Structure formats: structure tokens, C-alpha cells
Amino acid sequence: MLETWLTSKTVNIVDSVGNWKEAIQLCAAPLLKNNTITPNYINSIIELHESIGPYYVLAPGIAMPHARPEQGVNQLSLSMLLVKQGVKFNSQENDPVYLITLLAANDNTSHIEILTQLAALFGEASDIQKIFKAQTSAQILSVINNY
């Protein structure tokens, strides 16, 4: 199911980023390009982080930035960025973050199945390690296609 949302156009790898804001912006870029989110959605995620902290850092090395549907989501969408060198999100227990999966839900329910599949992926340590070690987006997608 995740292969519907995560494709070669929405999954990217970079060696490093300057900071967590750049990581979010790079992760969101494919969704901006395909007009499923607006720039306001990215700004909302950054503002929330600055206000309440890295609420979306879920586990060691894994973040899932998101905001409210009304903050700039045009269509349900998902993107993924692997930062090979990791990036600090100021999440003491979970930094550095390597895998950023940006979720843009356009309502309160349509994304539940995606979350279920992502939870299964994030809970499978061996598959997460394969993603962390991936050199190409095709390698990431070969893992994702199992979910």
C-alpha cells in the first residue's frame, strides 16, 4: 500500500543537511512540486516545532513531520528523505534522525491506513536498518513495497 504514496518522485537521499529545518524543506519539496501541499504546510510544521518541540520524532532515527489538514494540505500525500549523516532535531532520546517521512493528510481519517502501514514498517528493525543503509531510492522502495 505504501508504494501508492512513496515513489521514485517522493523518496530521496541526501548525504547531509545543515539543520532540521532544511531536512523538512527537502523532504517536503516533492509534495510542493506536485502541489499536494502549500508552503504554509511546511511553515506550520516549523512553527509547531519551535513552539512545542520535536513532537514528530517518533523513535531513534525516525521523524514524521506533519501539521493539521487545514494548514496547507491540498491532497493526501507522503514523502520520505534519508539523511545519510543524520540530523539533530533536538530530540534527546532519538537524535540523530536519519529517516524523515512527511505526512500530509487532507482530513482526519483518510490517512489512517497509511499510518498503520508506516507503524508496521517503523516497528520492523531489520527493514529500518536496510533503509538507513540504502544508497539509492530504489533500495528504499524495495523495502517499502513490502508494506
Spatial CB neighbours of 140, under 8 Å, sequence gap ≥ 6: 6, 11, 13, 80, 82, 131, 134
Spatial CB neighbours of 7, under 8 Å, sequence gap ≥ 6: 141
Asked if 10 contacts 139 with a C-beta cutoff of 8 angstroms, the reply is: no
Distance from chain centroid for Cα 7: 13
**DSSP of 80-95, one letter per residue?**
EEEEEEEE--S-TTTP
Distance from chain centroid for Cα 65: 6
Q: Catalytic residues, which ones?
A: 66
